[in-house]
Amino acid sequence: MSFTVPSAVKALPASLPAAFLPGIPAQPTAGRQAAEPVPGSRLVPAVASGVRVFVECPSWCTIDHTEDPNEPIEDIWHSSDHVDLKLPHLGDSDDLFTFARLGLDPTASNLQHRQTFVLVEDGGEGYYANPDQADEFADNLEAFAAQIREMARVARGGVQ
């Protein structure tokens, strides 16, 4: 059995110009390689606008990117688990005072959020910090803790 290919088909170029495929980004070729994955990341399944896709996800991210099937792809962001600071107090159980987590929002309008940040929240307000600011905050917490320990030492001594 043989087929005859119409002459119009024979005239098509080996590859279509990108103008014919406006919604499809240019694909890697032998001359142009795809971007290298970010160290410490992995491809994970996600559902964006009802379509299953794979997104590059930092190793510390604990979000299930398939949880909200109606989420647009530009709203996919990354978060680690929270670390909590609880405050024990008189006559009650410990209360959550503040918590912190890693975050990354690859399509954020704020370009600083497109880099991994530390987010410290108090249940209402969120404070974004770059790694250097997070180190400075941790130093401040250590100094604060030393002052609280001194106050506790004085309080144990009774009223003076």
pLDDT tens, residue by residue, 76-128: 999 999 999 999 888 778 888 999 999 999 999 999 999 999 999 988 889 99
Is the per-residue pLDDT at 11 higher than 80?
no
pLDDT at site 158: 73
Is the per-residue pLDDT at 38 higher than 50?
yes
Which residues sit opposite 41 in a β-bridge? 58
Query: Are 105 and 146 in a shared domain?
Result: yes
Where does a domain end: 48, 76, 104?
76
Q: What is the CA radius of gyration of the chain?
A: 27
CA distances in angstroms from 129 to 28, 31, 112, 134, listed in the order given: 35, 39, 9, 6
Give the pLDDT band (50/70/90) at residue 15.
Answer: low
Domain around 54: 38-76
Query: Are 131 and 106 in a shared domain?
Result: yes
The mean pLDDT of 5-14, rounded to a whole number, is: 51
User: Which of 129, 132, 111 is closest to 120 using CA atoms?
Assistant: 129
Query: Are 70 and 89 in a shared domain?
Result: no
For the chain, what is the domain count? 2
Query: Are 85 and 105 in a shared domain?
Result: yes
Better-predicted residue by pLDDT, 22 or 72:
72
pLDDT at site 129: 97
Query: Are 112 and 88 in a shared domain?
Result: yes
Q: Is residue 110 part of a domain?
A: yes
The mean pLDDT of 129-158, rounded to a whole number, is: 95
Give the pLDDT band (50/70/90) at residue 2.
Answer: low
Query: Are 160 and 89 in a shared domain?
Result: yes
Query: Are 62 and 121 in a shared domain?
Result: no
Where does a domain end: 29, 55, 76?
76
CA-CA distance, 42 to 27, in Å (whole number)?
20
Query: Are 62 and 110 in a shared domain?
Result: no
Q: Is residue 48 part of a domain?
A: yes
The pLDDT mean for the chain works out to 83
Query: Are 60 and 129 in a shared domain?
Result: no
Query: Are 113 and 141 in a shared domain?
Result: yes
Give the pLDDT band (50/70/90) at residue 8.
Answer: low
